[in-house]
Structure 1
Amino acid sequence: MDDIVELTDRECRELLRADVVGRVAFVTPQGPRIVPVNYVVREAGLELRTTPYSELATYAPGSQVAFEIDHLDREQGRGWSVVVHGDCERVQDDAAAAFEEPGEDPRPWAGGRRPLWLRLVVAEITGRRVGGEHWPHPVVPRR
């Protein structure tokens, strides 16, 4: 059995920049929720769009949330995971408008309008890898 290897901050950030889909965990009055989201990495943190009436839009802003991306290679019995913790806030500036430009950052995969911008202000990033100390990553394709 291989030991778990802690990823460096730099490795975690590289993996975050290499992918476009992750999961956000937040708490509602009915309990915890985890939802998949498209995201983009900016200097201020991770940004994503959602609908104003979603549970994410209703309960995440003003709260602490967790965000996770990972990759699993079942055949080789190896994988990695990056987890981000921080505060969620509504984006109030026009800087996020670049998300709307064709050819720029990824658009939400889900249909419908997603005009509400949320930002996860990074407080902590951690990552782990299992399956061999010399396993090359990222395995996710660069966008």
Structure 2
Amino acid sequence: MDTLVELTAAECRDLLTTDTVGRVGFVTPHGPRIVPVNYVLRDDAIEIRTSPTSELATYGPGARIVVEFDHLDTERHRGWSVLVHGTCGPAEDHRNGDGRERDVGPVPWAGGERPIWLRVPLTELTGRRVGGPHWPHPVVSGRGRGY
């Protein structure tokens, strides 16, 4: 059985560049919610697109939320997980002067309009991995970086 290894903030930040999908946890009057999201790491924050009618757009801004990113290798019994805790707020407007969206990624997997950009600063960034002392972190999505 391998020991859990705490990741440094730099390792966590580097892993955030390997994919574009995570999960956001937040609380609504109806209880906690966890929803998958596409994201981009911009400066020192996670930016997420959502629709104006989503629960995330309704209950996220101004609230402390958590965003989780992970990768699991079930065959080799190894994986990593990174958590970002922070206060959700609006992100910079990513539209051109003509109202069209600039190409700033990510392209949401879910259909429909997603014009609302939310931002979660990397206020608290933690992570851990399991799978041996010299396990190289995988390139998850093909975006290009691993260890």
TM-score normalised by length of structure 2: 0.88
The answer to whether 1:37 aligns with 2:30 is no
Percent identical among aligned pairs is: 63
Residue 101 of structure 1, CA deviation: 3.7
Structure 1 residues 4 and 83, CA gap change in structure 2 (3 angstroms): same
> Partner letter of residue 121 of structure 2?
V
Letter in 2 for 1:128: R
> Counterpart of 1:10 in 2: which secondary structure?
helix
**Superposed CA RMSD:** 1.5
1:9 aligned partner: 9
- Any idea what the Cα deviations from partners look like across 1:18-37, whole Å, max 9, x if unmatched? 11000000000111100000
Task: Report Cα offsets for 1:76-128 as digits up to 9, x if no partner.
Answer: 0111000000000022x33x348x445x5221111111011111122100010
Partner of 1:23: 23
Q: Residue type of the partner of 2:62?
A: G
Unaligned runs of 5+ in 1: none
Q: Which letter maps to 1:53?
A: T
**Which runs of structure 1 show a deviation greater than 3 angstroms over 4 or more consecutive aligned residues?**
none
Matching of residues 1-143 of structure 1 within 5 Å: 1-91=1-91, 93-94=92-93, 96-97=94-95, 100-102=101-103, 104-143=104-143
Report the CA distance between 1:139 and its aligned residue: 3.4
Task: Specify the SS of the correspondent of 1:39.
Answer: strand
Q: Which has the higher helix share?
A: 1
* C-alpha displacement of 1:44: 4.2
Q: Please state whether the residue corresponding to 1:113 is helix, strand or coil.
A: coil
TM-score under structure 1 length normalisation: 0.91
Structure 2 SS opposite 1:58:
helix
Asked if structure 1 preserves the Cα contact closer than 8 Å seen for 2:39 and 2:106, the reply is yes
In the alignment of these two chains, the number of paired residues is: 139
SS of the residue aligned with 1:52? coil
